[in-house]
Amino acid sequence: MKKMCAILATMIAFSTVSTMTIFADEVQQKLPLVKELPEMKELEQSDAKMESQYMTKSGTIKSIEKEKDYYTISVALPDDEFGIVYTVNENAFIVNSENGNFMTFDELKSDMNITAIVAKNSPMTMSLPPITNAVVLVVGEQNFAATGYFNEELISEDTPAMLQLNISEETKIVDMAGSKKLFTQDDVKNQDCLVVYGITTRSIPAQTNPVFVMILDKQEIEEEKEEEIIDTIQQQEMGEKEEQTEPTSNAVNFVPLREIAENKGFTVTWAANDKPVLLQKDDVTIEIVVGQKEYKKGTEVLQAEKAPELIKSKIYVSENILP
């Protein structure tokens, strides 16, 4: 009997040790997963989609005018009867889409097809046609021009189609500073770029051998300079006096319309200088006309304390207009 008890005790002991060993192994297998969790988060963050800080717009040149240190280019757009006006620095790059070679402003002519590269945070007037700044121009339709953020695999998800670059020795790579450096595909990785390319594969992502790649600057736009140029153009078109920089009324509290309205959650749309400015928020629509005291809130016609004024491309209104 004592011998039998000893055997049973031994079996129970081995069973307990065995069970504990299995449990410990399971815990040990799970522990590395806890340690790897931060790395997995980093991987997810690295795979997060990065969007380009630039956009493109294609059209046909209507006219070109030389100003002091920049050009104004009026462009007809296929989807907009009013078109657009670009201000372009005299030192900006102009790229031939056929071969990636650089062109000069003197080579630009009316009826040429161009694609303008515009920073997404570049200021734009509310007039028709709108005025904004273009940082690069691509001329011609022989190849496609697109902007995108290209990751470690040289894939961009925000080009017109998901695009992967196969850079060859024939691909011309430059930066916006015109650096005298031999760039490689490693310089293109994790960068915002303008690419000029032709044939693509039907795969996903579509693959292409680009003719030209420009590494675009991080957006540190000289907004004050751009606004100064845009203001000058609009003053000339509106016939405003250059010395007029503030609203003329001292008795009425005037506020900048767009800034205040957007802070209150309104969307602001202005079709043209002689048409109403539309403020829309939920079911509320307000119509304001520059130079007129009367304005509409829905179907109700109201009176502002003073007529709205256009001062250096900004509309100022009586504070009581905005609810």
pLDDT digits (tens, 9 = 90+) for 29-67: 433 333 343 444 443 444 456 788 999 999 999 999 998
What does the alpha-carbon distance between residue 235 and residue 128 come to, in Å, rounded to a whole number?
14
Residue 8 pLDDT grade (very low, low, confident, very high; cuts 50, 70, 90): very low
State the DSSP string of 14-47: HHHHHHHHHHHHHHHHHHHHHHHHHHHHHHHHHT
- Count of CB atoms situated within 10 Å of the CB of 231: 20
**H/E element, 184:** none
Q: Which of 268, 186, 216 is nearest to 92 (CA)?
A: 216
What does the alpha-carbon distance between residue 143 and residue 198 come to, in Å, rounded to a whole number?
5
- Tell me, what amino acid is at 242? E
- How much is the pLDDT for 123? 84
- Rounded percentage of the chain residues whose pLDDT exceeds 90: 38
Cα→Cα distances 133→19, 63, 126, 162, 197, Å: 73, 16, 14, 27, 24
Residue 313 pLDDT grade (very low, low, confident, very high; cuts 50, 70, 90): low
- Secondary structure E strands in 176-256: 191-197, 206-208, 212-215, 254-256
Q: Does residue 69 or residue 145 have the better pLDDT?
A: 145
- How much is the pLDDT for 149? 95
What does the alpha-carbon distance between residue 82 and residue 75 come to, in Å, rounded to a whole number?
9
What tokens were used for 131?
A: 């005025």
Question: Own/partner pairs for 219-224, CB < 8 Å, 24+ apart?
Answer: 219/53, 219/54, 219/119, 219/120, 219/121, 221/119, 221/121, 221/122, 221/133, 223/121, 223/122, 223/123
- How much is the pLDDT for 45? 42
* Predicted confidence (pLDDT) per residue in 72-86, tens digit: 999 999 888 889 999
Q: Specify the pTM.
A: 0.58
- How much is the pLDDT for 42? 44
